[in-house]
Structure 1
Amino acid sequence: MLGRKMNSDPRPPSSVPPPSLPQYGRSIPVTPFRGYLLALLVLIGSVASVIVFWRNAYERELRAAEADFIAGTQQIAALLQQRMINYELALGSSASVFSTVRPSPQQWQSFVEGLDVQERFPGMLGMGFAPYVTPEGFRQLQIDSRDAGYGLLRLQPPGIRPYYGPVLYLAPMSMENRSVIGFDMFADPVRREAMLAARDSGKAKLSGPVHLQQDRYGGSGEQAGLLLYAPIYRIGDFPITVAARRESLRGWVYVPFHIPQFVRAALPYRERYGGIDLKLYDIGGATPQLLYADERQEPSADPAFVSSLPVEIYGRTWRMDFRSAPVDVVSPRLAGLRTTLAVGLLISLLLFWLAMLLARTENRARQIAAQLTEDYRRSEQRFRMAMVYSAIGKALLDKEGRVVEANPALGAIMDRDPASLAGVPFSSLFDDASDPIRTVEMEAVAEGVYRTTRRLRREDGELRYAQLTYAPVPGNVGQDIARLVQVEDATDRLRAEAQVRALNRNLETRVVQRTRELTAANNELESFAYSISHDLRTPLRSIEGFSRLLSERYESSLDEAGRDYLTRIRNATSRMSDLIDALLKMARLSRGQLNRTPLDLSQLAKDTIAELRAAEPERKVSVAIQPGLQAYGDAPLVRNLLGNLLGNAWKFTRDGAEPLIEFFAEPAQGEGEPPTFVVRDNGAGFETEYVGKLFRPFQRLHSQDQFAGHGIGLASVRRIVERHGGAIRAEGAPGKGAAFKFTLPGEPE
């Protein structure tokens, strides 16, 4: 048979080399050049259209912003001229007063206060009058001022000059304005130029930039100041010629003002002009002089537009330099145009990519179809190879449960030729085919994978067990294969499991027997302990009783040595009794059932220390107990444990100068591990080499005279800890104290 021939091959099925597979692959057809050219033309055309559209929109937006800038500069210039006209009108009203009468200083003060110049004309420091006089005329002014009670008019700067133009009136009469009275403006070249121009023209004239005299006293800083002069002629004169004007001139009315406040008052809402910065220069002299400068934009920011506008104003030539905000500020929509450009370029790239995809679609479709066909063929071949070379028996079944194809491994399990299994109902191959449950196997496969164990009898009569795994095989409607079944020979495994179960039953029987024997031994040991205790106590009581009677009745007949012998006998019997009690106590620790409950170790330690203090109130021992120490254990046994450890610490710190006892917990070493509890003292300590004797019964490291005891306490502690499943160890040094560290398991499951 084929199955026997395969079994004769010394190599496992997986080691049989598979047949060589042909190399699959297809070269990708080259995309025609025409498709690439079309995609390139689409890219060039779309990019060019986007750039032309963006450039036209950008220029249009920039021109509109520039037009708004020019309109804003013209409006700013008009507002400044209008504000200067208002100053000139106020000056003209004051000139009309001197054209009719010469007012007194009080009348002038009332007139100026009525105009409310400081409120209506921000930056204006007042309104004044300066007469045009010769030295004789100035002396007459001084005499008139003294006779009127105003004091002597002092000339500033002093000196003899052909003509004077001293400030005679200046209202409102603030401290700064009072300090200007007597100042000869005609002596200053800049002021004199404007005063002479007003005299000869008969019109108001503006001076060049000067430092106003008020700033010396008012602390106004380095602000540029200007003065506007209007000529005053003799009453009734209307001179036409320059010579007649010079002859008829009486003086000037004038207004001093600061140019920064003048500009800010003229332009109260700068934001409406799109953030235009202004620099104002006086270019009437030899060199331009800065009158005003805005500082609203960063110096490093590049303006979108700049403009210069010359203006003739009351005899002076001003140049207005305008500077706009950066392009992104003056025209916010330009940022949107950049976004539009980016989107347009992106769309152009997308169009180019689509054209490339369209050019390659047909070739790519053919390539994918060929690849899918090849993948399907290779997948089919892999499946066939997996069937042939698998070490697990496999069979393909149709909808009726008949074998369509079987692999050699299944033939080996059945001891039949795989080809002979074709068309055979699969269930008929097993010895238990008549089992009613087998009728639902095939129906269960529709719900998913189904596993079961069946019994079969091979051709040679050998009985075997097989592990079956049914699985549906997806496919097209009407195909002949519906299910896949895997068959594994489970005979050896089932026999091994049966042997393990038999061994387990045998082991359980032995455990029960050993437990019974151990219980009987413990009962015998307990009976022996009680018997020994009872048998030993009887002669001890006799020895102790007769010793006491001998001491009471014949004490006078005994010498000192005899009485000492009796005392030693009685002490020895008492110690022997205590040792018997300790022995019984040790025996009880190994009996009984543990009753584990949550315990507050901190409170148990406090109670133990309280009992020790009550027993020896005269001792002063410092005790540090960490609060909140919790554990699970048998309450009486754990109380006994702490009593022995804390009692030892109390006892062995007796000779210390500052005795200290500590009870605390060290953190757990790992996750899930219980904490380590520590009882530490600074007492007598012990040699490290003798640490192994500490937990042995009746082993002592100190003499009875030094520290009393039976040598059973630490042995009891170790037994209690081990009964709880924990561990204990000791650390110490002579004269440096000792530390006992123990663990108790966590919460019982």
Structure 2
Amino acid sequence: MARPLWKSIWRHVTLTHSELARTDAPCFKTFNGVALALLSFHGLGQARKFSTVMTKQADTSSLNAISSPWKPLRVSPGKWVAWLTLAVSLALSVAAWQMAKSSAAQEAREHFEFHTSEIKEAMSQRLLAYKEVLRGVSGFFYTAQPMTREKWRKYVAHLQVGKIYPGILGIGFAQRVPLNELAAHIRHVRAEGFTDYTVWPLGKRREYTAIVYLEPFHWRNQRAHGYDMHIDPIRRSAMAQARDYGKAAVSGKIKLMQETGRDVQAGFVMYLPLYRQGAPLGTVAQRRAALWGYVYTPFRMNDLINGVLGKIERDVGIAIYDGAAITPQTLMYRDNAPRRSALFTDEVLHFEGHRWTLRFFSLPEFDKRINKQKSQLVLGAGVVISFLLFAMTAALASTRTRALRLAHAMTAASRESEARLQEVSSTLGEGVYMTDCGGNILFANPEAQRLLGWPEEEMRGRQAHALFHHHRADGSVYPVEACSLDQANPHAAAYVAEDVFWCRDGARLPVSVNSAPILREGKQTGWVVAFHDISEQLAIREKLNRTLSEQQAILETAVVGIAYLKGSEIAWANTKMGEIFGYSTEELKGLPLDATYPSAEEAAAGNRAVAAAFAAANEYSVERLAKRRDGALVWCHFNGRPVDRGKPREGAIWTAHDITERKLAEKALRDQQRDQQVIFDSVRAMIWYIDRDGKVLRSNRLAERYVGMAAG
């Protein structure tokens, strides 16, 4: 009896302790959580009494056989099996401890790397947005000439810099001023009302780059008015790069002129060059000669980072260094760092040829979430379970039937858990979550957590619709009773549609969603919902629609009529084609091209000519009379080309150009020449018209009879 009993108990332990710890089986939780603790600390008799009572209350139908009197532990030849069980269990516990320790570290590293990449991407995208702002400002500068301070003020005020672009201290224009133009420049600015204006620091230099406009022109920015940025080597280097390459450039770490003695922050400046309009810019020398000045924007680093990362829920800190060196002198920004961080890494951010070194480190909030106790709990639980198995194996050597029934009850719960996980794992390639019949979340896979921004522990038990499906795409409230995801018919196919979910941070997430009911023995127990992000697909679709709209606009504004024919009928035509023949574009659809011929005979002859031309040269061109809707005839030049030369009736592009005025002019010219010839011939004298080379170009009839030959 010893060996079969050990096998049964071993099967029970290895099956239930690895699988049923995730289930809701009350018998397992009661027995494993309390009775086993009593077994370890208060002896076998106390544990037996407690476990018998609790398991009867939890599941009488599956454990009612466990009621036989407790037998004293006997020393049997199979006792060595209990020691073997203890050794193997302890070895497995150590292995599980190492795996849990490694898993927790890996999970923390992945979470940390995700947040660092998120912060780096947010900074990169914001800097690109600021560069585009400068591009827009440069375009305004060129188109709004002559530029005035009032125009500049209104334009920058319209941009709402402080609200839409947090972190920008202002938007300015710095003018290049050669030494011989310095006095005139100062007089011009003073004439605008700035009587104390001068270019500073004072001193004689070959050229200056003076700040002329800087909006908003508040007290902080007024401190920089007239400052010659060319005198600072760091600013001068960035301006030279922008000037020579004709694109945006970023300076190194500087102290802005706007700084006072309080809340001093590191700063930098982004420049975009302006060149004189019409000047050649093909070489560096030409760009240097054509330089007009710069549009630029100064940044205070703390304000910039708070503006970029203010809405991101962060548990990862950052320090930013100018260049590759990590020194106090190159430090531009740093979060309040703990004395020790569990994780840190260095990243490099390149922008317009300038390098920043980003040092990321975990904050206390992140370190607290690292499950350091998980591995310890695994080890402790493993040791407790190991000794429990040792005691159970020795004590239950004579109760094989009871152990088998207990194992059977726990195995059933394990199979239910496995079935649930199997249903979810079938769609793990996308974001997947599972709900009960009330729409409450039971499970969410890592991809769903990543897309929605919610960790699984905060999602579980909450209603999916209220959590992230509460509004429609247009922002209107989406009542839960109208939610299509929870209305999937258990007897119909799965629900598939494009929808919108709302992330934890309030961001809108367009998704393609597939919702299907979970059926157990013909009864619905919940839903499985799979979804994936379609933001990129929607962007491509929007770009395609915009391109089609642009092409449609081009065709509609063409000065010639354009039509697309399927067979012999017009499938589409632009507005100009309708104007030529007196139809609306809708009336032209389905109209046969034969309707533009004056007669059926001409239509038949024209169709034969078109077919022959398409077969021979893949193109047909003709000038002929065409009939309008009102029956009037107009001269038109037609040109047609099939889309597929081998199948001309499947599609052809035709253009029509109204040449009636040209034809009337040609006829008038011929009539005029005929009248002139009549007058010429009626003169009673011989007339020759001779060019400079002595060639007779024209003569009247009398002259021709006299010499016996015509002109030419």
TM-score bracket for this pair, using the shorter chain length: 0.3 to 0.5
Rg (Cα) greater in structure:
1
TM-score of the superposed pair, with normalisation by structure 1 = 0.41
| Higher percent of residues as strand | 2
